[in-house]
Structure 1
Amino acid sequence: MTLKTLLVHVDDTPAGKARLDAAVTLASDKDAHLVGLGIRPPEPVPAYGAAVIPKALVRDISKENDEHMSALRKRFEEKLRQAGREAAGEWRAVTGEPEDSASLHGRYSDLMILGQVGLKQTPEGLRDLAEAVILESGRPVLVIPEKGAPASIGRRILVAWDGSREAARAVSDALPFLREAEKVTLLSVTSDNSQQLPGAEIAAHLDRHGVNVESDSQAARGPTGETIMKQAEGLGCDLIVTGAYGHARWREIVLGGVTNTLLRRSPLPVFMSH
């Protein structure tokens, strides 16, 4: 698979601006079509209140939302123009619940580019967007840290491997990155000092795909998520690839500890599949 269509969620926060920069750079590197998605929440005017809420107030709210979407579109199109990619992008402004809207439009892309979970600068209704979309969309998600992404994404990659279905899905989805990487480290975090390499079989599989891969096994000395982040930074990686772990009732149950840690705290971009 090659990356032909990328989708980035666009907002006006500092993290959103850094995310847009990363998306435009990645689309240029991959020669991919970039979709900018602006999400306009439903206007907070319940039907039963239509008779008591002044029409002027309703118009003002609608006008403010229109102006906000127009400003986001202008920023998106200006970034494309600066990169010389006006013909390789499109803007979509949608109205609806953010999780549903992003998941739906993400299904028409090869990869979604979203922000970290739980950022205080992000409007409350969008803070958990990546968490829900990873589980609902059926597409991989690239989560960009609050501070933004390195100048390049995918030159040196750490793959967190535990043999699970989710990890296998992530490796498969990330092949466009893995094949082009200068170096891929397949990290298995174990609970003891075993000398076995749990990722030997998947490493051989990746080697047959032309991936420059090596296996590494680390004994966990603390939370697994912390071990993954520390190892990735120590190796000079610019991308972490991992499966996202959830539950059948994900609306009520928090994502697994490793996933939650990486979604909220990773200093590097994280490629996740579920």
Structure 2
Amino acid sequence: MVPRDLVVFLEERQPWSGRLAFAASLARHWQAHLIATYVAHPLALDPHAGFAIGPALAQVIADRDAASAAAQEDARAAFAGLTERRSFSAEWRVARDDTGEALMLHARHAALAIMGPPYRQRPEPSALGMAEQMILACGRPCLLLPDAWPGDRLPRRIVAGWNGSREATRAIADAMPLLAEAGSVHLVVVPEAGTVVPHGAEPGADMATHLARHGVPVTLEQCRGDDAGAALLARCAALDADLLVMGAKGRSRISEVVFGGATRTVLAQVSLPVLLSS
């Protein structure tokens, strides 16, 4: 089923223009409702703010509010320019001081959440620093997009990781609208990577058959080695892939995120869009 609504998170002090353009391209392609959620930068994340006292603190707050309002207006103007007189519907939201479950609700009310690159690749903290928690806890597929990714480069060459797990199954199911429209899909299996799920005599063959039945132009690749994350990234580079699809294995609490090895490797090194489900 083609998604009918998407949410894209725009962060005040992080690059967002390419992310917004990509989300608008995808919404136009699917004729889906586009929700832009602008995430204001919390004062608590400004290190110098903690040193201000008395009148200085009031001035810091006033300056921050003025800068935040100007940045928000710039983002909203860009959003209007991309969405007015378009064939899809759109709405603008502002998340000010939303954290934890409140921020996740924006994702839970849409079929796909589009965010920036993994937190560990960012130069400074942001309100969406909990995005990795969102991957594991929001209940929706999350597409993490590099800041410099072209807004019109939609997925045509896709690499999908498969290890027989529940998380990988969910990721492939969530990505099916993209997989079915792709020019090529490479289903990558690393049998020696230590998965506890039995693959059978021909690892990945059953999932490749399942995808083919749904019209996916799939090629099964069985890769050697014991590092699934590195193998996936290597195939993405060799194929000049537009998207990596994989399950995110881990445990999330509001105060703690623990990822499995392959997920951890990908989040630290990935340089292309990655769709993660848990």
Report the TM-score range of the alignment, normalised by the length of the smaller protein. Answer: 0.7 to 0.9
- The structural deviation recorded for 1:146 is 3.1
1:217 to 2:222 alignment: yes
Q: Residues 5 and 35 of structure 2 are in contact (CA less than 8 Å); yes or no, is this contact kept in structure 1?
A: yes
CA shift digits 1:213-269 (9 cap, x unpaired):
12110012x632121011122123211110001126574343122212222321211
- 1:92-171 superposed matches below 5 A: 92-116=93-117, 117-122=119-124, 124-126=125-127, 128-149=129-150, 151-171=152-172
- The structural deviation recorded for 1:126 is 3.5
- 1:1-274 superposed matches below 5 A: 1-12=1-12, 15-41=15-41, 43-44=43-44, 53-54=54-55, 56-57=58-59, 58-81=61-84, 84-85=85-86, 88-116=89-117, 117-122=119-124, 124-126=125-127, 128-149=129-150, 151-191=152-192, 197-220=202-225, 223-247=227-251, 251-274=255-278
Identify if the C-alpha distance between structure 1 residues 61 and 12 changes in structure 2 by more than 3 Å, giving closer, same or farther: closer
Q: Residues 157 and 184 of structure 1 are in contact (CA less than 8 Å); yes or no, is this contact kept in structure 2?
A: yes
Q: Which runs of 5+ in 2 are unaligned?
A: 45-49, 194-198
Identify if the C-alpha distance between structure 1 residues 265 and 217 changes in structure 2 by more than 3 Å, giving closer, same or farther: same
CA shift digits 1:102-127 (9 cap, x unpaired):
311111111011011223445x1346
CA shift digits 1:164-183 (9 cap, x unpaired):
00000001111111111122
Q: Which segment drifts farther, 237-246 or 203-212?
A: 203-212
Q: Residues 157 and 241 of structure 1 are in contact (CA less than 8 Å); yes or no, is this contact kept in structure 2?
A: yes
Identify if the C-alpha distance between structure 1 residues 85 and 125 changes in structure 2 by more than 3 Å, giving closer, same or farther: same
CA shift digits 1:134-160 (9 cap, x unpaired):
112110011102321474322121110
Aligned identity (percent) is 33
Quote the Cα distance in structure 1 between the aligned partners of 2:94 and 2:151. Answer: 28
Paired residues, what number? 264
- The structural deviation recorded for 1:186 is 0.8
Question: TM-score if structure 2 supplies the norm length?
Answer: 0.83
Identify if the C-alpha distance between structure 1 residues 24 and 204 changes in structure 2 by more than 3 Å, giving closer, same or farther: same
Quote the Cα distance in structure 2 between the aligned partners of 1:2 and 1:87. Answer: 14
Quote the Cα distance in structure 2 between the aligned partners of 1:131 and 1:105. Answer: 15
Identify if the C-alpha distance between structure 1 residues 202 and 14 changes in structure 2 by more than 3 Å, giving closer, same or farther: same
CA shift digits 1:22-58 (9 cap, x unpaired):
21222222221111111125555xxxx9xx8559534
Quote the Cα distance in structure 2 between the aligned partners of 1:136 and 1:152. Answer: 28
- The structural deviation recorded for 1:68 is 2.9
Identify if the C-alpha distance between structure 1 residues 203 and 150 changes in structure 2 by more than 3 Å, giving closer, same or farther: farther
Q: Which runs of 5+ in 1 are unaligned?
A: none
Quote the Cα distance in structure 2 between the aligned partners of 1:245 and 1:156. Answer: 24
Quote the Cα distance in structure 2 between the aligned partners of 1:242 and 1:99. Answer: 24
| SS of residue matched to 2:230 | helix
Question: TM-score if structure 1 supplies the norm length?
Answer: 0.84
| SS of residue matched to 1:128 | helix
Q: Which segment drifts farther, 143-152 or 3-12?
A: 143-152
- The structural deviation recorded for 1:199 is 1.0
Quote the Cα distance in structure 2 between the aligned partners of 1:259 and 1:145. Answer: 16
Quote the Cα distance in structure 2 between the aligned partners of 1:14 and 1:62. Answer: 17
Quote the Cα distance in structure 2 between the aligned partners of 1:43 and 1:128. Answer: 14
